[in-house]
Every structure is written in C-alpha cells, then in structure tokens.
Amino acid sequence: MILPQCELAEARGILDNICRQFSGLAFSGAHAEFQVTLSAGVARLNDFADADAALNAADAALYQRKQQGRNGVTVHGEGQLT
C-alpha cells in the first residue's frame, strides 16, 4: 500500500486500525466460521535509494512482525512493535 504525503506515525495508525477491524471480521468456511489477522511492515520510501530498497525494508519489517507476534504493524528501523 502506498500512502502519499503520509508520515510514519500516521501510516502506523492507519494500518493499526485496519488490523483491528480486519481481526474482528468473521468468515464462513465450509464447516465453520473463522477469523484471520493482518500483519504489516512499513518503510518510508524517501529513506531509501529506490522503491525496491524500500519494499525490501517493508518486507523485512513484516517478517519481524510475524516472528514476534502477528496482528499488528512494525515500522522498519524502529525496533518496537505495536
């Protein structure tokens, strides 16, 4: 997702809200209802030489999020989870 003219704190807030809302949805499966969660990694495009480097940084933040707990947002370089 690209959020033009959006600072990191605002992007984190937007994605945290999406994660909360998404985890509250119930889906109907063949045999039961189920819920899923959303994990996100964020990187600020202007902090990198090119879009590929920013995408790699966001991907690394996503994997950090998944390793340390799902259903939330990790911002590249911050080292703290929300």
CATH number reported for the structural domain that contains residue 12 in this entry: 3.30.70.270
Find the length of the chain. Answer: 82
CB 22 within 8 Å of CB 38: yes
DSSP the chain: ---TT--HHHHHHHHHHHHHHHHT--EE-SSSEE----EEEE--GGGSSSHHHHHHHHHHHHHHHHHH-SSEEEETTT--B-
Residue 80 confidence class, pLDDT cut points 50, 70, 90: very low
Q: Which domain, by its residues, includes 46?
A: 8-75
Q: What percent of the chain has pLDDT over 70?
A: 95
Whether 81 maps to a domain, the answer reads: no
Residue type, position 74, single letter: T
Structural domain count, the chain? 1
Whether 1 maps to a domain, the answer reads: no
pLDDT tens figures, 23-46: 999 999 999 999 999 999 999 999
Residue 82 pLDDT > 50:
no
